[in-house]
Structures are given as C-alpha cells and as structure tokens.
Amino acid sequence: MKARSKELLDQATVAMLAAIEIYNKPQFAYRAQSFAILALNGWELLLKAKWLTVNKNRLSSLYVRQGGGQKRKRFKKTRSGNPMTQSVDYLADRMREKKLLAENAHRNLRVLTELRDSAVHFSFNNAEFEKRVHEVCAATVKNFHAAAGDWFGEDLSRFNLYLMPLGFVAFRSASAAALNSEEKRVLKCINTELASGDQDQASPYAVAVSVELRFVRSKAETATAVRVTTDPNAQPVYLTEEYILERWPWTYDDLTAQC
C-alpha cells in the first residue's frame, strides 16, 4: 500500500499534467484559465504531500481545527460531513515559514491563486494579460518540477513538462491600454509580486519565466517570408500539436540520448 504522501504526489503530478495538456492545445479557448485552476490543484496536492511527510503522515495535520483541546480536537466539516483540509494559501505560508518552500515559488503561488480566482469568478481574455499569464504559468511548471525533486527525489522530466508559447502573434501586438479595470488590478498584483521576487538567476525557482520567440532571417531563396502583422487580410499561420510533433518528434529522453 502506498503511503498517503506518495498517493497525493501521484495525484498532484496527474493534475499538473492535465493542466499542461490543456494549455498546449492552441485551439482550446479556455486554456489559460483551465491551466490556472488545474495547476493550482496540482500544487495544493503537492504541498499536502510534503506537509504529511513533515507531520509523520498524520492526516489530521491537514485538517482545519475548530475548537477542542489537545486530546479531543474538533475539526471543521465539509457539506458531506468529511473533515475540511487546509487551503493552498495556508500550506504555502506554513511551508515558507519553515523554509521548505522557496520565496519565488511562494510568490508564484500567490499570483497563480489570483489567476485561479479571476478565472473562476471573473474572466480574462486580453492578449497582454495572457502574455503575463503565460510567463507565470511557465514558472509554475518549472517550480513544480523542482519541488517534486527537492522534496521527494522525484524526476518528472520523463513527462516532458513544458508549455508551448503558441500565442506569440497576440503577444507582440498586445497593448496594455486595452485592459479593463478588473484586468488592470490583477495585472498590477502580478507585477508587484514579480518586482518583489528573488532575482537570483541560478535559483531553480522563479515567480515568472520570460519567454521570447524570434523569427531568424534565412539566406535560403526558398525560405518563406514571415511578418507579424495585425492586417486582417494577411495569410494566417497555425501551429498545431500534430505539426510540431511531426517536425520535432524527439522526446526529452530521445534528445539527451542523441546528445
């Protein structure tokens, strides 16, 4: 029988993989919002797995106290009557206090929580907003991979954890002036966390990861001319998952083996 912490680790990995799978579908209209919801779920399960190991695998360490003494503790109940477990905010704060969670990872989770709340209770569709979301989400995956290795010795590289920056056309033409008031407030919250984060480039943890995609000029006469434009009559270019896998079929393991 698996330890409870290992079961939660496995579930956390599945949740993160689901988040990445959805985000990497370019035609999925709710991709960024769905990622924020599923990725935060994955991180909450990962934090609970680590919290259990810190507390000798006692499930009660995850429950929300509601009165009672040390010997007869009472816990808050859910609608079904089961014990309510601690939130991702509580666990992240406690882990940071114990210096088990890196500062940048903690700040990234604060931003991801804000994005999750915005996705569930509001909406965001602005291109400039989604550019910043992509940078935060890329760091979320990076931090998850690092934490799973640091806490459990788990190497998740076999799952090819990466986000494809398929929205580069929208990113380049985006304008912050088009943000509505709600999106501006969320973006301000994100930028505040970014400015306060640890700038150590050698750290495996980050608040956000800057992704820059460039077109490289080719000298070949047969090369296709590519320009980023907002002209509605321009020829559209679509990058599908099937097209990318056809051109670059190697997995991470294939690439390292060839190297």
Residue 181 has pLDDT above 80, yes or no: no
d(CA 141, CA 20): 8
Lowest pLDDT segment from 1-15, 25-39, 135-149: 25-39
Mean pLDDT within 92-99: 95
Residue 188 has pLDDT above 60, yes or no: yes
Residue 223 has pLDDT above 60, yes or no: no
Question: Could you give the percent of the chain with pLDDT greater than 70?
Answer: 74
Cα end-to-end span (Å), the chain: 39
Residue 174 has pLDDT above 50, yes or no: no
DSSP of 26-61:
TT-TTHHHHHHHHHHHHHHHHHHHHHHHHTTT-GGG
Q: Report the alpha-carbon angle 69-73-79, nearest 5.
A: 140
Among 55-69, 97-111, 216-230, the range with the most confident prediction by mean pLDDT is 97-111
**The two structure tokens encoding residue 27:** 């035609």
In Å, how far are 15, 169, 195 from 99, measured between CA atoms? 25, 40, 21
Is the pTM higher than 0.85?
no
Please count the CA atoms within 13 angstroms of the CA of 118 that sit on its side-chain side. 27
How far out from the chain centre does Cα 170 lie?
Answer: 20
Mean pLDDT within 87-96: 95
